[in-house]
Structure 1
Amino acid sequence: MTELVKNTGELPVAAIQDEAVSPWKEAWQTFQKNKLALVGLGIVIFFIIVAAIAPLIAPYSFREQVLADRLLPPSAEHWFGTDDFGRDIFSRVVYGARISLWVGFFSVMASMLIGTFLGIVAGFYGRWVDSLISRVFDILLAFPSILLAIAIVAILGPSLQNALIAIAIINIPNFGRLVRSKVLSVKQEEYIMAARAVGMKDSRILFRHIMPNSITPIIVQATLAIATAIIEAAALGFLGLGAQAPTPEWGRMLADSKNYLTQAPWTLFFPGMAIMLTVLGFNLMGDGLRDALDPKMKT
Protein backbone atom coordinates (compact mmCIF):
# COMPACT_ATOMS: atom_id res chain seq x y z
CA MET A 1 0.00 0.00 0.00
CA THR A 2 2.81 2.42 0.94
CA GLU A 3 4.60 1.65 -2.29
CA LEU A 4 1.41 2.25 -4.25
CA VAL A 5 0.84 5.60 -2.55
CA LYS A 6 4.44 6.51 -3.15
CA ASN A 7 4.14 5.69 -6.80
CA THR A 8 0.84 7.50 -7.21
CA GLY A 9 2.38 10.50 -5.49
CA GLU A 10 5.48 10.57 -7.64
CA LEU A 11 3.78 10.30 -11.01
CA PRO A 12 2.04 13.68 -10.91
CA VAL A 13 5.26 15.36 -9.71
CA ALA A 14 7.23 13.86 -12.59
CA ALA A 15 4.55 14.92 -15.02
CA ILE A 16 4.58 18.45 -13.65
CA GLN A 17 8.37 18.61 -13.95
CA ASP A 18 8.16 17.50 -17.57
CA GLU A 19 5.54 20.11 -18.35
CA ALA A 20 7.22 22.93 -16.41
CA VAL A 21 9.65 23.81 -19.18
CA SER A 22 10.86 27.39 -19.27
CA PRO A 23 9.41 29.28 -22.25
CA TRP A 24 12.87 30.62 -23.07
CA LYS A 25 14.37 27.12 -22.94
CA GLU A 26 11.61 25.86 -25.20
CA ALA A 27 12.24 28.78 -27.59
CA TRP A 28 15.96 27.97 -27.66
CA GLN A 29 15.20 24.32 -28.43
CA THR A 30 12.95 25.40 -31.28
CA PHE A 31 15.58 27.85 -32.52
CA GLN A 32 18.23 25.11 -32.57
CA LYS A 33 16.08 23.02 -34.90
CA ASN A 34 16.13 25.79 -37.50
CA LYS A 35 19.35 25.24 -39.46
CA LEU A 36 19.14 28.54 -41.34
CA ALA A 37 18.68 30.41 -38.06
CA LEU A 38 21.83 28.76 -36.69
CA VAL A 39 23.69 29.78 -39.83
CA GLY A 40 22.51 33.36 -39.30
CA LEU A 41 23.57 33.25 -35.65
CA GLY A 42 26.99 31.96 -36.70
CA ILE A 43 27.42 34.79 -39.23
CA VAL A 44 26.44 37.41 -36.64
CA ILE A 45 28.80 35.98 -34.02
CA PHE A 46 31.59 35.86 -36.61
CA PHE A 47 31.25 39.55 -37.48
CA ILE A 48 30.97 40.51 -33.81
CA ILE A 49 34.24 38.68 -33.09
CA VAL A 50 35.89 40.30 -36.11
CA ALA A 51 34.81 43.74 -34.90
CA ALA A 52 36.02 43.03 -31.37
CA ILE A 53 39.51 41.88 -32.37
CA ALA A 54 39.94 44.12 -35.43
CA PRO A 55 43.32 45.56 -34.27
CA LEU A 56 44.67 42.02 -33.85
CA ILE A 57 43.72 40.63 -37.26
CA ALA A 58 44.07 43.72 -39.46
CA PRO A 59 47.60 43.61 -40.98
CA TYR A 60 47.63 47.34 -41.72
CA SER A 61 46.10 50.54 -40.42
CA PHE A 62 42.90 51.48 -42.23
CA ARG A 63 44.40 54.97 -42.73
CA GLU A 64 47.76 53.87 -44.12
CA GLN A 65 48.22 55.07 -47.71
CA VAL A 66 50.85 53.70 -50.09
CA LEU A 67 50.23 55.33 -53.45
CA ALA A 68 52.77 53.06 -55.12
CA ASP A 69 50.49 50.10 -54.25
CA ARG A 70 47.21 51.61 -55.44
CA LEU A 71 44.60 49.29 -57.02
CA LEU A 72 46.59 46.11 -56.51
CA PRO A 73 44.55 42.89 -56.96
CA PRO A 74 44.14 40.41 -54.10
CA SER A 75 47.40 38.70 -53.18
CA ALA A 76 49.21 37.08 -50.26
CA GLU A 77 50.32 40.53 -49.10
CA HIS A 78 46.93 42.20 -49.53
CA TRP A 79 44.21 39.56 -49.22
CA PHE A 80 41.43 41.79 -50.55
CA GLY A 81 43.66 44.00 -52.70
CA THR A 82 44.13 47.75 -52.30
CA ASP A 83 42.01 50.80 -53.12
CA ASP A 84 42.79 53.91 -55.14
CA PHE A 85 44.91 55.32 -52.28
CA GLY A 86 46.87 52.13 -51.77
CA ARG A 87 45.05 51.27 -48.54
CA ASP A 88 44.61 47.63 -47.61
CA ILE A 89 40.95 46.73 -48.26
CA PHE A 90 40.97 43.74 -45.88
CA SER A 91 42.01 45.98 -42.97
CA ARG A 92 39.35 48.54 -43.88
CA VAL A 93 36.61 45.90 -44.16
CA VAL A 94 37.60 44.48 -40.77
CA TYR A 95 37.47 47.90 -39.10
CA GLY A 96 34.29 48.67 -41.02
CA ALA A 97 32.57 45.82 -39.16
CA ARG A 98 32.97 47.86 -35.97
CA ILE A 99 31.30 50.89 -37.48
CA SER A 100 28.40 49.08 -39.15
CA LEU A 101 27.59 46.99 -36.07
CA TRP A 102 27.95 50.06 -33.83
CA VAL A 103 25.50 52.03 -35.95
CA GLY A 104 23.13 49.08 -36.20
CA PHE A 105 23.06 48.23 -32.50
CA PHE A 106 22.90 51.73 -31.06
CA SER A 107 20.43 53.18 -33.57
CA VAL A 108 18.08 50.24 -33.01
CA MET A 109 18.55 50.43 -29.25
CA ALA A 110 17.58 54.10 -29.26
CA SER A 111 14.57 53.60 -31.53
CA MET A 112 13.50 50.53 -29.52
CA LEU A 113 13.57 52.39 -26.18
CA ILE A 114 11.74 55.46 -27.48
CA GLY A 115 9.28 53.53 -29.66
CA THR A 116 8.50 51.03 -26.89
CA PHE A 117 7.84 53.80 -24.39
CA LEU A 118 5.56 55.69 -26.77
CA GLY A 119 3.77 52.50 -27.82
CA ILE A 120 3.11 51.48 -24.21
CA VAL A 121 1.80 54.93 -23.30
CA ALA A 122 -0.43 55.09 -26.38
CA GLY A 123 -1.82 51.58 -25.97
CA PHE A 124 -2.31 51.67 -22.21
CA TYR A 125 -3.85 55.13 -21.74
CA GLY A 126 -5.65 55.45 -25.09
CA ARG A 127 -7.95 58.40 -25.87
CA TRP A 128 -6.24 61.64 -26.90
CA VAL A 129 -2.80 60.36 -25.88
CA ASP A 130 -3.16 57.41 -28.25
CA SER A 131 -4.48 59.66 -31.03
CA LEU A 132 -1.61 62.14 -30.68
CA ILE A 133 1.16 59.52 -30.62
CA SER A 134 -0.44 57.51 -33.43
CA ARG A 135 -0.63 60.60 -35.64
CA VAL A 136 3.08 61.23 -35.07
CA PHE A 137 3.78 57.65 -36.12
CA ASP A 138 1.61 58.09 -39.21
CA ILE A 139 3.47 61.24 -40.22
CA LEU A 140 6.86 59.51 -39.92
CA LEU A 141 5.62 56.47 -41.83
CA ALA A 142 4.17 58.65 -44.60
CA PHE A 143 7.70 59.23 -45.95
CA PRO A 144 9.92 56.54 -47.47
CA SER A 145 12.41 55.68 -44.74
CA ILE A 146 15.57 56.40 -46.71
CA LEU A 147 14.22 59.76 -47.95
CA LEU A 148 13.32 60.75 -44.40
CA ALA A 149 16.79 59.74 -43.22
CA ILE A 150 18.36 61.82 -46.00
CA ALA A 151 16.25 64.83 -45.02
CA ILE A 152 17.23 64.51 -41.35
CA VAL A 153 20.93 64.19 -42.13
CA ALA A 154 20.71 67.10 -44.56
CA ILE A 155 19.32 69.24 -41.72
CA LEU A 156 21.77 68.03 -39.06
CA GLY A 157 24.80 67.81 -41.34
CA PRO A 158 26.58 64.81 -42.88
CA SER A 159 28.36 62.69 -40.26
CA LEU A 160 28.24 59.19 -38.86
CA GLN A 161 26.64 60.35 -35.61
CA ASN A 162 23.89 62.25 -37.42
CA ALA A 163 23.29 59.22 -39.64
CA LEU A 164 22.82 57.15 -36.48
CA ILE A 165 20.29 59.70 -35.16
CA ALA A 166 18.40 59.69 -38.46
CA ILE A 167 18.24 55.89 -38.57
CA ALA A 168 17.00 55.80 -34.98
CA ILE A 169 14.24 58.31 -35.72
CA ILE A 170 12.89 56.54 -38.80
CA ASN A 171 12.66 53.21 -36.92
CA ILE A 172 10.72 54.58 -33.92
CA PRO A 173 7.26 54.12 -35.51
CA ASN A 174 7.96 50.46 -36.29
CA PHE A 175 8.56 49.65 -32.62
CA GLY A 176 5.86 52.04 -31.41
CA ARG A 177 3.04 50.57 -33.50
CA LEU A 178 4.13 47.02 -32.76
CA VAL A 179 4.16 47.57 -29.00
CA ARG A 180 0.93 49.59 -29.09
CA SER A 181 -0.96 46.75 -30.78
CA LYS A 182 0.45 44.24 -28.29
CA VAL A 183 -0.51 46.42 -25.30
CA LEU A 184 -4.05 46.91 -26.66
CA SER A 185 -4.38 43.13 -26.77
CA VAL A 186 -2.78 42.38 -23.41
CA LYS A 187 -4.62 45.02 -21.38
CA GLN A 188 -7.95 43.34 -22.17
CA GLU A 189 -6.87 40.12 -20.46
CA GLU A 190 -8.64 39.10 -17.29
CA TYR A 191 -5.55 39.24 -15.08
CA ILE A 192 -5.02 42.91 -16.04
CA MET A 193 -8.61 43.71 -15.15
CA ALA A 194 -8.17 41.83 -11.87
CA ALA A 195 -5.03 43.86 -11.12
CA ARG A 196 -6.97 47.07 -11.71
CA ALA A 197 -9.82 45.81 -9.51
CA VAL A 198 -7.52 45.27 -6.53
CA GLY A 199 -6.13 48.79 -6.91
CA MET A 200 -2.72 48.01 -8.42
CA LYS A 201 -0.93 51.12 -9.68
CA ASP A 202 -0.58 51.72 -13.42
CA SER A 203 3.22 51.69 -13.23
CA ARG A 204 3.20 48.27 -11.57
CA ILE A 205 0.75 46.87 -14.11
CA LEU A 206 2.92 48.18 -16.93
CA PHE A 207 6.26 46.87 -15.71
CA ARG A 208 5.08 43.67 -14.04
CA HIS A 209 2.40 42.41 -16.41
CA ILE A 210 2.30 44.25 -19.74
CA MET A 211 6.01 44.68 -20.46
CA PRO A 212 6.96 41.01 -19.91
CA ASN A 213 4.16 39.94 -22.25
CA SER A 214 5.24 42.43 -24.92
CA ILE A 215 8.97 41.67 -24.96
CA THR A 216 8.85 38.81 -27.49
CA PRO A 217 7.83 40.81 -30.60
CA ILE A 218 10.25 43.57 -29.57
CA ILE A 219 13.20 41.15 -29.62
CA VAL A 220 12.27 39.85 -33.06
CA GLN A 221 11.70 43.34 -34.46
CA ALA A 222 15.01 44.58 -33.01
CA THR A 223 16.96 41.76 -34.65
CA LEU A 224 15.44 42.44 -38.06
CA ALA A 225 15.78 46.21 -37.57
CA ILE A 226 19.56 45.90 -37.09
CA ALA A 227 19.84 44.44 -40.59
CA THR A 228 17.78 47.32 -41.97
CA ALA A 229 19.84 49.87 -40.03
CA ILE A 230 23.09 48.50 -41.49
CA ILE A 231 21.69 48.86 -45.02
CA GLU A 232 20.45 52.38 -44.30
CA ALA A 233 23.82 53.40 -42.83
CA ALA A 234 25.55 52.02 -45.92
CA ALA A 235 23.13 53.90 -48.18
CA LEU A 236 23.76 57.18 -46.37
CA GLY A 237 27.49 56.54 -46.50
CA PHE A 238 27.30 55.82 -50.21
CA LEU A 239 25.50 59.13 -50.77
CA GLY A 240 28.13 60.99 -48.76
CA LEU A 241 25.75 61.79 -45.91
CA GLY A 242 27.04 59.24 -43.40
CA ALA A 243 30.61 58.41 -42.46
CA GLN A 244 33.19 60.75 -43.95
CA ALA A 245 36.61 59.82 -45.34
CA PRO A 246 38.87 58.21 -44.26
CA THR A 247 36.41 56.34 -41.98
CA PRO A 248 36.24 52.73 -43.27
CA GLU A 249 32.45 52.45 -43.33
CA TRP A 250 31.30 49.87 -45.88
CA GLY A 251 28.88 52.17 -47.69
CA ARG A 252 31.51 54.89 -47.89
CA MET A 253 33.98 52.35 -49.30
CA LEU A 254 31.51 51.51 -52.05
CA ALA A 255 31.12 55.19 -52.89
CA ASP A 256 34.90 55.70 -53.05
CA SER A 257 35.28 52.70 -55.36
CA LYS A 258 32.36 53.16 -57.76
CA ASN A 259 34.62 54.70 -60.42
CA TYR A 260 36.80 51.57 -60.52
CA LEU A 261 34.13 48.96 -61.17
CA THR A 262 35.76 47.64 -64.35
CA GLN A 263 39.37 48.49 -63.51
CA ALA A 264 39.42 47.13 -59.95
CA PRO A 265 36.17 45.29 -59.15
CA TRP A 266 37.58 43.92 -55.87
CA THR A 267 37.35 47.40 -54.36
CA LEU A 268 33.54 47.10 -54.49
CA PHE A 269 33.15 43.33 -54.16
CA PHE A 270 34.52 42.83 -50.66
CA PRO A 271 32.72 45.73 -48.89
CA GLY A 272 29.53 44.72 -50.71
CA MET A 273 29.94 41.10 -49.60
CA ALA A 274 30.46 42.24 -46.01
CA ILE A 275 27.19 44.19 -46.11
CA MET A 276 25.34 41.30 -47.73
CA LEU A 277 26.58 38.66 -45.28
CA THR A 278 25.93 40.77 -42.20
CA VAL A 279 22.41 41.65 -43.28
CA LEU A 280 21.75 38.03 -44.27
CA GLY A 281 22.93 36.84 -40.86
CA PHE A 282 20.62 39.16 -38.93
CA ASN A 283 17.67 38.36 -41.21
CA LEU A 284 18.11 34.60 -40.84
CA MET A 285 18.52 34.93 -37.09
CA GLY A 286 15.49 37.22 -36.86
CA ASP A 287 13.34 34.78 -38.83
CA GLY A 288 14.47 31.98 -36.52
CA LEU A 289 13.65 34.01 -33.42
CA ARG A 290 10.21 34.84 -34.82
CA ASP A 291 9.50 31.16 -35.43
CA ALA A 292 10.76 30.22 -31.96
CA LEU A 293 9.13 32.98 -29.92
CA ASP A 294 5.82 33.47 -31.73
CA PRO A 295 3.27 30.87 -30.53
CA LYS A 296 1.34 31.22 -33.80
CA MET A 297 4.38 29.97 -35.73
CA LYS A 298 4.71 26.78 -33.67
CA THR A 299 3.19 23.55 -34.86
Structure 2
Amino acid sequence: MRRLKNLCKDPLAVVSIGIIIVTVICGVFAPLVAPHDPEEVNMSLRYAHSSVEYLLGNDHLGRDILSRIIYGIRPSVLWVLAALAVSVMIGAVIGFLAGYFGGKVDAFLMRCCDIMLSFPGYVMALAVIGVLGVGLENILIAFITIKWAWFARIIRTSVNQFTEADYVRYAKTIGKGHVFIMVRHIIPVTFADIAVISSSSISSMILQISGFSFLGLGVQAPAAEWGMMLNEAREVMFTRPELLLAPGLSIIMIVMAFNFFSDALQIALDPTRQGRSKKENIQLPSKRAAEST
Protein backbone atom coordinates (compact mmCIF):
# COMPACT_ATOMS: atom_id res chain seq x y z
CA MET A 1 0.00 0.00 0.00
CA ARG A 2 2.88 2.35 0.75
CA ARG A 3 4.23 1.80 -2.75
CA LEU A 4 0.85 2.62 -4.26
CA LYS A 5 0.78 5.83 -2.21
CA ASN A 6 4.19 6.73 -3.64
CA LEU A 7 2.77 6.19 -7.11
CA CYS A 8 -0.25 8.41 -6.40
CA LYS A 9 2.01 11.23 -5.20
CA ASP A 10 3.45 11.62 -8.71
CA PRO A 11 1.11 13.98 -10.65
CA LEU A 12 2.44 12.78 -14.01
CA ALA A 13 1.77 9.18 -13.03
CA VAL A 14 -1.78 10.04 -11.94
CA VAL A 15 -2.48 11.77 -15.27
CA SER A 16 -0.97 8.84 -17.18
CA ILE A 17 -3.06 6.32 -15.25
CA GLY A 18 -6.15 8.43 -15.94
CA ILE A 19 -5.43 8.47 -19.68
CA ILE A 20 -4.87 4.71 -19.70
CA ILE A 21 -8.05 3.97 -17.75
CA VAL A 22 -10.20 6.25 -19.92
CA THR A 23 -8.71 4.74 -23.08
CA VAL A 24 -9.35 1.17 -21.92
CA ILE A 25 -12.93 1.98 -20.86
CA CYS A 26 -13.67 3.66 -24.20
CA GLY A 27 -12.24 0.65 -26.03
CA VAL A 28 -14.22 -1.91 -24.02
CA PHE A 29 -17.48 0.04 -24.31
CA ALA A 30 -16.85 1.35 -27.84
CA PRO A 31 -20.38 0.54 -29.12
CA LEU A 32 -21.83 2.70 -26.33
CA VAL A 33 -19.27 5.50 -26.52
CA ALA A 34 -18.88 5.92 -30.29
CA PRO A 35 -21.48 8.31 -31.75
CA HIS A 36 -21.68 6.55 -35.15
CA ASP A 37 -20.95 3.28 -36.87
CA PRO A 38 -17.21 3.36 -37.70
CA GLU A 39 -17.74 1.45 -40.97
CA GLU A 40 -20.75 3.41 -42.24
CA VAL A 41 -19.93 4.91 -45.65
CA ASN A 42 -21.48 8.23 -46.64
CA MET A 43 -19.88 9.65 -49.78
CA SER A 44 -21.84 12.88 -49.42
CA LEU A 45 -19.68 13.61 -46.35
CA ARG A 46 -16.40 12.75 -48.03
CA TYR A 47 -13.60 14.80 -46.38
CA ALA A 48 -16.19 16.85 -44.50
CA HIS A 49 -14.87 19.23 -41.87
CA SER A 50 -15.67 18.90 -38.19
CA SER A 51 -19.20 19.71 -37.09
CA VAL A 52 -21.46 19.26 -34.10
CA GLU A 53 -22.52 15.81 -35.29
CA TYR A 54 -19.05 14.76 -36.50
CA LEU A 55 -16.61 16.36 -34.08
CA LEU A 56 -13.45 15.23 -35.88
CA GLY A 57 -14.85 15.31 -39.39
CA ASN A 58 -15.06 12.50 -41.93
CA ASP A 59 -12.53 10.52 -43.95
CA HIS A 60 -12.29 9.72 -47.67
CA LEU A 61 -15.36 7.47 -47.46
CA GLY A 62 -17.42 9.79 -45.28
CA ARG A 63 -16.90 7.67 -42.16
CA ASP A 64 -16.87 9.34 -38.75
CA ILE A 65 -13.24 9.77 -37.64
CA LEU A 66 -14.07 10.00 -33.92
CA SER A 67 -15.94 6.70 -34.00
CA ARG A 68 -13.07 5.06 -35.85
CA ILE A 69 -10.60 6.41 -33.27
CA ILE A 70 -12.67 4.92 -30.45
CA TYR A 71 -13.05 1.54 -32.16
CA GLY A 72 -9.35 1.65 -33.07
CA ILE A 73 -8.52 1.37 -29.36
CA ARG A 74 -9.40 -2.31 -29.48
CA PRO A 75 -6.72 -3.53 -31.92
CA SER A 76 -4.23 -0.80 -31.07
CA VAL A 77 -4.33 -1.12 -27.28
CA LEU A 78 -6.64 -3.82 -25.90
CA TRP A 79 -5.49 -6.68 -28.10
CA VAL A 80 -1.90 -5.61 -27.59
CA LEU A 81 -2.46 -5.84 -23.84
CA ALA A 82 -3.86 -9.34 -24.32
CA ALA A 83 -0.83 -10.41 -26.38
CA LEU A 84 1.45 -8.89 -23.74
CA ALA A 85 -0.31 -10.84 -20.98
CA VAL A 86 0.14 -14.12 -22.86
CA SER A 87 3.81 -13.35 -23.56
CA VAL A 88 4.48 -12.48 -19.92
CA MET A 89 2.68 -15.62 -18.75
CA ILE A 90 4.74 -17.89 -21.00
CA GLY A 91 7.94 -16.06 -20.14
CA ALA A 92 7.15 -16.17 -16.42
CA VAL A 93 6.60 -19.94 -16.42
CA ILE A 94 9.83 -20.62 -18.30
CA GLY A 95 11.76 -17.99 -16.32
CA PHE A 96 10.61 -19.39 -12.98
CA LEU A 97 11.48 -22.95 -13.95
CA ALA A 98 14.93 -21.95 -15.21
CA GLY A 99 15.74 -19.63 -12.32
CA TYR A 100 14.42 -21.88 -9.57
CA PHE A 101 15.71 -25.31 -10.61
CA GLY A 102 18.90 -24.20 -12.38
CA GLY A 103 21.32 -26.82 -13.69
CA LYS A 104 20.30 -28.70 -16.80
CA VAL A 105 16.79 -27.27 -16.76
CA ASP A 106 18.19 -23.75 -16.77
CA ALA A 107 20.73 -24.56 -19.49
CA PHE A 108 18.13 -26.16 -21.79
CA LEU A 109 15.49 -23.45 -21.38
CA MET A 110 18.00 -20.61 -21.79
CA ARG A 111 19.41 -22.19 -24.96
CA CYS A 112 15.87 -22.22 -26.36
CA CYS A 113 15.57 -18.54 -25.46
CA ASP A 114 18.94 -17.83 -27.09
CA ILE A 115 17.71 -19.42 -30.32
CA MET A 116 14.60 -17.23 -30.33
CA LEU A 117 16.52 -14.08 -29.40
CA SER A 118 19.11 -14.66 -32.11
CA PHE A 119 16.56 -13.56 -34.72
CA PRO A 120 15.85 -9.80 -35.01
CA GLY A 121 12.36 -9.01 -33.80
CA TYR A 122 11.06 -7.42 -36.99
CA VAL A 123 12.54 -10.18 -39.14
CA MET A 124 10.81 -12.81 -37.02
CA ALA A 125 7.53 -10.87 -37.18
CA LEU A 126 7.74 -10.58 -40.96
CA ALA A 127 8.51 -14.29 -41.19
CA VAL A 128 5.43 -15.18 -39.15
CA ILE A 129 3.29 -12.84 -41.23
CA GLY A 130 4.74 -14.30 -44.42
CA VAL A 131 3.81 -17.81 -43.32
CA LEU A 132 0.42 -17.13 -41.74
CA GLY A 133 -0.63 -14.11 -43.82
CA VAL A 134 -1.56 -10.56 -42.94
CA GLY A 135 -4.08 -9.71 -40.26
CA LEU A 136 -4.36 -8.70 -36.61
CA GLU A 137 -4.41 -12.28 -35.29
CA ASN A 138 -1.17 -13.13 -37.05
CA ILE A 139 0.48 -9.93 -35.81
CA LEU A 140 -0.44 -10.88 -32.24
CA ILE A 141 0.94 -14.39 -32.75
CA ALA A 142 4.14 -12.81 -34.04
CA PHE A 143 4.36 -10.60 -30.93
CA ILE A 144 3.93 -13.59 -28.62
CA THR A 145 6.52 -15.57 -30.58
CA ILE A 146 9.03 -12.73 -30.30
CA LYS A 147 8.47 -11.48 -26.76
CA TRP A 148 8.19 -14.59 -24.59
CA ALA A 149 11.90 -15.42 -24.77
CA TRP A 150 12.88 -11.88 -23.77
CA PHE A 151 10.52 -11.96 -20.78
CA ALA A 152 11.74 -15.44 -19.80
CA ARG A 153 15.38 -14.36 -19.67
CA ILE A 154 14.68 -11.25 -17.58
CA ILE A 155 12.35 -13.07 -15.17
CA ARG A 156 14.86 -15.91 -14.83
CA THR A 157 17.52 -13.41 -13.75
CA SER A 158 15.15 -11.92 -11.18
CA VAL A 159 14.14 -15.33 -9.80
CA ASN A 160 17.75 -16.49 -9.63
CA GLN A 161 18.54 -13.67 -7.17
CA PHE A 162 16.17 -15.11 -4.55
CA THR A 163 16.52 -18.85 -5.13
CA GLU A 164 19.42 -19.15 -2.68
CA ALA A 165 17.93 -16.84 -0.05
CA ASP A 166 17.88 -18.12 3.53
CA TYR A 167 14.09 -18.25 3.80
CA VAL A 168 13.88 -20.27 0.56
CA ARG A 169 16.50 -22.72 1.81
CA TYR A 170 14.66 -23.05 5.10
CA ALA A 171 11.39 -23.77 3.27
CA LYS A 172 13.13 -26.52 1.30
CA THR A 173 14.65 -27.93 4.48
CA ILE A 174 11.32 -28.31 6.28
CA GLY A 175 9.89 -30.11 3.25
CA LYS A 176 7.78 -27.46 1.53
CA GLY A 177 6.94 -28.25 -2.08
CA HIS A 178 8.38 -26.39 -5.05
CA VAL A 179 5.02 -24.92 -6.06
CA PHE A 180 4.40 -23.66 -2.51
CA ILE A 181 7.84 -22.04 -2.37
CA MET A 182 7.39 -20.34 -5.74
CA VAL A 183 3.92 -19.01 -4.93
CA ARG A 184 4.64 -18.03 -1.33
CA HIS A 185 8.24 -16.81 -1.46
CA ILE A 186 9.41 -16.19 -5.05
CA ILE A 187 6.47 -14.59 -6.86
CA PRO A 188 5.88 -11.76 -4.31
CA VAL A 189 9.51 -10.56 -4.46
CA THR A 190 9.74 -10.79 -8.26
CA PHE A 191 6.34 -9.26 -8.99
CA ALA A 192 7.83 -5.76 -9.05
CA ASP A 193 10.29 -6.68 -11.80
CA ILE A 194 7.58 -8.42 -13.83
CA ALA A 195 5.27 -5.40 -13.52
CA VAL A 196 7.97 -2.98 -14.60
CA ILE A 197 9.14 -4.92 -17.67
CA SER A 198 5.54 -5.52 -18.71
CA SER A 199 4.58 -1.85 -18.49
CA SER A 200 7.75 -0.79 -20.31
CA SER A 201 7.09 -3.19 -23.21
CA ILE A 202 3.53 -2.15 -24.01
CA SER A 203 4.59 1.12 -25.67
CA SER A 204 6.87 -0.56 -28.18
CA MET A 205 4.21 -3.15 -28.98
CA ILE A 206 1.62 -0.43 -29.66
CA LEU A 207 4.05 1.33 -32.00
CA GLN A 208 4.86 -1.94 -33.75
CA ILE A 209 1.26 -2.95 -34.40
CA SER A 210 0.49 0.57 -35.66
CA GLY A 211 3.55 0.38 -37.89
CA PHE A 212 2.56 -2.97 -39.36
CA SER A 213 -0.99 -1.73 -39.97
CA PHE A 214 0.41 1.42 -41.59
CA LEU A 215 2.34 -0.84 -43.99
CA GLY A 216 -0.81 -2.86 -44.74
CA LEU A 217 0.33 -5.99 -42.86
CA GLY A 218 -1.90 -5.66 -39.79
CA VAL A 219 -5.55 -4.75 -39.44
CA GLN A 220 -7.34 -4.78 -42.77
CA ALA A 221 -10.11 -2.49 -44.03
CA PRO A 222 -12.85 -1.71 -43.26
CA ALA A 223 -11.92 -2.31 -39.59
CA ALA A 224 -10.61 0.72 -37.70
CA GLU A 225 -7.02 0.91 -36.45
CA TRP A 226 -4.85 3.93 -35.75
CA GLY A 227 -1.91 2.93 -37.94
CA MET A 228 -4.18 2.10 -40.86
CA MET A 229 -5.96 5.44 -40.42
CA LEU A 230 -2.59 7.17 -40.79
CA ASN A 231 -1.99 5.24 -43.98
CA GLU A 232 -5.39 6.26 -45.36
CA ALA A 233 -4.81 9.93 -44.49
CA ARG A 234 -1.33 10.19 -46.02
CA GLU A 235 -2.82 10.63 -49.50
CA VAL A 236 -4.21 14.02 -48.43
CA MET A 237 -1.52 14.92 -45.89
CA PHE A 238 -0.78 18.22 -47.64
CA THR A 239 -4.34 19.28 -48.42
CA ARG A 240 -6.04 17.89 -45.27
CA PRO A 241 -3.27 17.47 -42.67
CA GLU A 242 -5.80 17.51 -39.83
CA LEU A 243 -6.83 13.96 -40.79
CA LEU A 244 -3.41 12.81 -39.58
CA LEU A 245 -3.73 14.53 -36.24
CA ALA A 246 -6.44 12.36 -34.65
CA PRO A 247 -4.77 8.93 -35.07
CA GLY A 248 -1.28 10.39 -34.70
CA LEU A 249 -2.05 12.18 -31.44
CA SER A 250 -3.89 9.10 -30.15
CA ILE A 251 -0.78 6.98 -30.64
CA ILE A 252 1.48 9.63 -29.10
CA MET A 253 -0.73 10.16 -26.05
CA ILE A 254 -1.19 6.49 -25.16
CA VAL A 255 2.49 5.67 -25.74
CA MET A 256 3.60 8.61 -23.58
CA ALA A 257 1.09 7.63 -20.89
CA PHE A 258 2.45 4.09 -20.70
CA ASN A 259 6.05 5.36 -20.71
CA PHE A 260 5.44 7.80 -17.86
CA PHE A 261 3.47 5.18 -15.95
CA SER A 262 6.32 2.68 -16.37
CA ASP A 263 8.89 5.16 -15.03
CA ALA A 264 6.69 6.09 -12.05
CA LEU A 265 5.94 2.43 -11.33
CA GLN A 266 9.62 1.57 -11.34
CA ILE A 267 10.36 4.31 -8.80
CA ALA A 268 7.35 3.41 -6.65
CA LEU A 269 8.30 -0.27 -6.49
CA ASP A 270 11.97 0.52 -5.91
CA PRO A 271 12.16 3.68 -3.74
CA THR A 272 15.97 3.48 -3.62
CA ARG A 273 16.00 4.65 -7.23
CA GLN A 274 14.30 7.88 -6.22
CA GLY A 275 16.76 8.28 -3.35
CA ARG A 276 19.72 7.77 -5.64
CA SER A 277 18.36 10.25 -8.18
CA LYS A 278 17.84 12.89 -5.46
CA LYS A 279 21.35 12.26 -4.14
CA GLU A 280 22.79 12.70 -7.61
CA ASN A 281 20.89 15.97 -8.05
CA ILE A 282 22.31 17.25 -4.75
CA GLN A 283 25.87 16.20 -5.51
CA LEU A 284 25.90 17.51 -9.05
CA PRO A 285 25.89 21.29 -8.19
CA SER A 286 28.64 20.81 -5.57
CA LYS A 287 30.73 18.91 -8.07
CA ARG A 288 30.33 21.68 -10.64
CA ALA A 289 31.27 24.29 -8.02
CA ALA A 290 34.41 22.34 -7.17
CA GLU A 291 35.34 22.09 -10.82
CA SER A 292 34.82 25.84 -11.33
CA THR A 293 37.14 26.68 -8.44
TM exceeding 0.5: yes
Partner of 2:249: 273
Shift of 1:192: 0.9
Q: Does 1:236 align with 2:212?
A: yes
Shift of 1:298: 4.3
Q: Distance in 2 between matches of 1:150 and 1:81?
A: 34
Matches within 5 A, 1:11-22: none
Q: Does 1:135 align with 2:98?
A: no
Partner of 1:177: 153
Partner of 2:16: 40
Partner of 2:267: 291
Q: Determine which of 127, 130, 149 is the counterpart of 1:154.
A: 130
Shift of 1:108: 0.6
Matches within 5 A, 1:67-216: 67-216=43-192
Shift of 1:65: 0.6
Q: Distance in 2 between matches of 1:147 and 1:89?
A: 33
Deviations 1:122-174 (A, max 9, x none): 11122222122222222333333233222212211111111111112222123
Deviations 1:233-292 (A, max 9, x none): 111211211111111011111122222211222222111111111111111111111110
Q: Does 1:248 align with 2:224?
A: yes
Amino acid at match of 1:229: M
Q: Distance in 1 between matches of 2:114 and 2:191?
A: 23
Shift of 1:295: 4.3
Amino acid at match of 2:158: K
| 1:240 partner SS | coil
- Across the two proteins, how many residue pairs are aligned to each other? 275
Checking the alignment, whether the CA contact within 8 Å between 1:154 and 1:241 is kept in structure 2 is no
Shift of 1:184: 0.8
Structure 2 CA distance for partners of 1:163 and 1:268, relative to 1, 3 Å: same
Shift of 1:75: 2.9
Checking the alignment, whether the CA contact within 8 Å between 2:24 and 2:78 is kept in structure 1 is no
Shift of 1:70: 1.2
Partner of 2:279: none
Q: Distance in 2 between matches of 1:140 and 1:296?
A: 34
Checking the alignment, whether the CA contact within 8 Å between 1:103 and 1:229 is kept in structure 2 is no
Checking the alignment, whether the CA contact within 8 Å between 1:105 and 1:226 is kept in structure 2 is yes
Gaps of 5+ in 2: 276-293
Structure 2 CA distance for partners of 1:188 and 1:298, relative to 1, 3 Å: farther
Identity %: 35
Amino acid at match of 1:215: F
Checking the alignment, whether the CA contact within 8 Å between 1:73 and 1:266 is kept in structure 2 is no
Q: Distance in 2 between matches of 1:193 and 1:73?
A: 68
Normalised to the residue count of structure 1, the TM-score between the two structures is 0.87
Amino acid at match of 1:213: V
Shift of 1:78: 2.1
Q: Distance in 2 between matches of 1:27 and 1:133?
A: 33
Amino acid at match of 2:47: L
Structure ranking higher on relative contact order (CA contacts 8 Å, 6+ apart): 1
Amino acid at match of 1:30: N
Q: Distance in 2 between matches of 1:265 and 1:223?
A: 32
Partner of 1:13: none
Normalised to the residue count of structure 2, the TM-score between the two structures is 0.89
Partner of 1:64: 40
Greater gyration radius: 1
